[in-house]
């Protein structure tokens, strides 16, 4: 750092000090501040202690420094030497010393190395433009996701924000090719936009705004692009050779800060659910703290009729769950004092199969988990 002069601004985020370019910078190698995407992914990072972590495309260093609080050692890479200068300065100002900064193209600075946690907020914007290092070059994203498997230890996680082109009625199909063998995947679909919505979102205001939007739309038309999705994608390197699982979830809200707590629950939940019905019945399940239930009860034919309930949780990756009115009573019984099998036995016999399916769904969605003993 000695001898370099960096004219940057300092942004504060979650107790970190991050050096970045001013908002109005037009440099192609601009180092952005803490964008909403960076905040989202920082929140989604699992809060587990790890020995080794990797931040790919570190920019101001926000994800590397967030992980450095729970990792013994972090390697942070970027192709942009200016970003690394900024990020080193961010680490210094934030009092963080366990990050190693390396320059190079994606995984090339970590050839042959494996990590327990990888984070990457790649330049994912799908567009004809190529000049901005932090934003353009979305075609690289699929390769960055696929190659993660070669850099994860068994049980290790890689977390990405992605955008991708898909058919309007099927956002999952293209992503199946992105998941590398040997990895389970979780995809939380946040949104899909039509090309006109997408271009309006990403083309910045300015005198050439309309011309640029028109150029983007022409480019989409030429390629037959009708829909662009946005999601959080997580890979977990399997510890065995079992069949890889792909869990796809639809978000109804944006992820909240500390959503990584929910990510950990989703992982534990899919593990428990995959062990089969007997394992579920044997678990003493409890609704997790932070769950909010909204439902309407109507008076009909002289009796109270509970309508379906919507469950949300904070912190959240953005998903919600629906509990049918006739199974609402079961939800109150999931308090961790009894095995699920005993709770199901209290239901009318015609509701037990549906009750078991609901419990599995709530476990997979991280609304319910085995009570701590």
Ligand X SMILES: C[S@@+](CC[C@H](N)C(=O)[O-])C[C@H]1O[C@@H](n2cnc3c(N)ncnc32)[C@H](O)[C@@H]1O
- CB 161 to ligand X: min, Å: 8
8 Å CB contact between 164 and 175: yes
Q: Which of 83, 21, 28 is nearest to 56 (CA)?
A: 83
Is residue 38 a contact point for ligand X (CB under 6 A)? yes
Is residue 123 a contact point for ligand X (CB under 6 A)? yes
Instruction: Give me the phi and psi of 58, to 5 degrees please.
Output: -75, -25
Residues 171-200: x where in contact with ligand X by CB under 6 A, - otherwise, as a string = ------------------------------
- CB 47 to ligand X: min, Å: 18
What the block records as the tokens of 56 is 């790919």
What the block records as the tokens of 63 is 């994800």
Q: Which residue lies nearer to ligand X by CB, 137 or 290? A: 137
Angle at 147 between CA 108 and CA 76, to 5 degrees: 45
- CB 217 to ligand X: min, Å: 23
Q: Which residue lies nearer to ligand X by CB, 63 or 249? A: 63
8 Å CB contact between 43 and 253: no
Whole-number Å distance between alpha carbons of 234 and 185: 6
Is residue 58 a contact point for ligand X (CB under 6 A)? yes
Is residue 139 a contact point for ligand X (CB under 6 A)? no
Is residue 80 a contact point for ligand X (CB under 6 A)? yes
- Number of other CB atoms surrounding residue 84 within 10 Å: 20
8 Å CB contact between 41 and 104: no
How many residues belong to the site for ligand X (CB under 6 A)?
22
Is residue 19 a contact point for ligand X (CB under 6 A)? no
Is residue 334 a contact point for ligand X (CB under 6 A)? no
Is residue 133 a contact point for ligand X (CB under 6 A)? yes
8 Å CB contact between 275 and 58: no
Is residue 78 a contact point for ligand X (CB under 6 A)? yes
Q: Which residue lies nearer to ligand X by CB, 56 or 358? A: 56
What are the residue ranges of helices labelled H in 24-181? 36-44, 62-68, 81-94, 141-147, 173-176
Whole-number Å distance between alpha carbons of 276 and 90: 47
Is residue 121 a contact point for ligand X (CB under 6 A)? yes
Q: Which residue lies nearer to ligand X by CB, 77 or 363? A: 77
Q: Specify the length of the chain in residues.
A: 373
Q: Which of 145, 183, 32, 55 is nearest to 109 (CA)?
A: 55
- CB 266 to ligand X: min, Å: 22
What 3-state DSSP class applies to 64? helix
Q: What is the CA radius of gyration of the chain?
A: 23
What the block records as the tokens of 273 is 């659910």
What the block records as the tokens of 71 is 């990792």
Whole-number Å distance between alpha carbons of 269 and 277: 13
- CB 29 to ligand X: min, Å: 7
Is residue 63 a contact point for ligand X (CB under 6 A)? yes
Is residue 59 a contact point for ligand X (CB under 6 A)? yes
- CB 276 to ligand X: min, Å: 39
Is residue 141 a contact point for ligand X (CB under 6 A)? no
Q: Which residue lies nearer to ligand X by CB, 21 or 116? A: 21
Alpha-carbon torsion angle 310, 319, 341, 337, nearest 10: -80
Q: Which residue lies nearer to ligand X by CB, 27 or 292? A: 27
Could you tell me which stretch among 56-64, 305-313, 330-338, 342-350 binds ligand X (CB under 6 A)? 56-64
Q: Which residue lies nearer to ligand X by CB, 55 or 116? A: 55
Is residue 105 a contact point for ligand X (CB under 6 A)? yes
Residues 82-101: x where in contact with ligand X by CB under 6 A, - otherwise, as a string = -x------------------
Chain residues binding ligand X by CB under 6 A are: 32, 35, 38, 57-60, 62-63, 77-80, 83, 105-106, 121-123, 133-134, 137
């Amino acid at each position: 750092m000695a001898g370099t002069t960096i004219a940057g601004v300092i942004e504060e985020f979650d107790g970190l000090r991050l050096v970045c370019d001013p908002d109005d910078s037009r440099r192609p190698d601009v180092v952005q501040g803490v964008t909403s995407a960076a905040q989202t992914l920082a929140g989604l990072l699992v809060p587990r202690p790890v020995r080794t972590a990797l931040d790919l495309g570190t920019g101001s260093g926000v994800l590397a420094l967030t992980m450095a609080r729970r990792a013994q050692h972090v390697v942070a890479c970027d192709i942009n030497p200016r970003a690394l200068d900024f990020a080193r300065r961010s680490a210094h100002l934030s009092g963080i010393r366990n990050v190693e900064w390396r320059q190079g193209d994606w995984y090339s600075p970590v050839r042959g190395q494996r990590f327990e946690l990888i984070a990457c907020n790649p330049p994912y914007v799908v567009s004809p433009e190529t000049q901005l290092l932090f934003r353009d070059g979305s075609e690289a994203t699929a390769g960055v996701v696929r190659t993660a498997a070669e850099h994860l230890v068994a049980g290790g996680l890689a977390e990405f924000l992605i955008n991708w082109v898909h058919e309007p009625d099927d956002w999952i199909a293209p992503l199946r090719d992105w998941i590398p063998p040997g990895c389970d995947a979780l995809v939380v679909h946040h949104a899909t936009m039509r090309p006109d919505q997408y271009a309006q979102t990403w083309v910045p205001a300015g005198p050439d705004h309309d011309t640029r939007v028109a150029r983007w739309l022409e480019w989409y038309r030429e390629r037959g692009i009708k829909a662009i999705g946005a999601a959080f994608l997580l890979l977990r390197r399997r510890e065995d050779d079992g069949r890889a699982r792909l869990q796809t979830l639809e978000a109804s809200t944006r992820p909240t800060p500390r959503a990584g707590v929910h990510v950990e629950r989703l992982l534990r939940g899919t593990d428990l659910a995959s062990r089969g019905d007997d394992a579920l019945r044997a678990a003493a399940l409890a609704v997790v703290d932070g769950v909010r239930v909204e439902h309407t009860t109507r008076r009909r034919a002289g009796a109270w009729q509970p309508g379906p309930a919507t469950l949300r949780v904070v912190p959240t990756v953005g998903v919600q769950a629906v509990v049918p009115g006739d199974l609402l009573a079961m939800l109150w019984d999931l308090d961790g004092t009894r095995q699920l099998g005993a709770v199901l036995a209290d239901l009318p016999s015609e509701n037990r199969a549906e009750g078991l399916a609901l419990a599995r769904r709530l476990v997979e969605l991280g609304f319910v988990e085995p009570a701590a003993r």
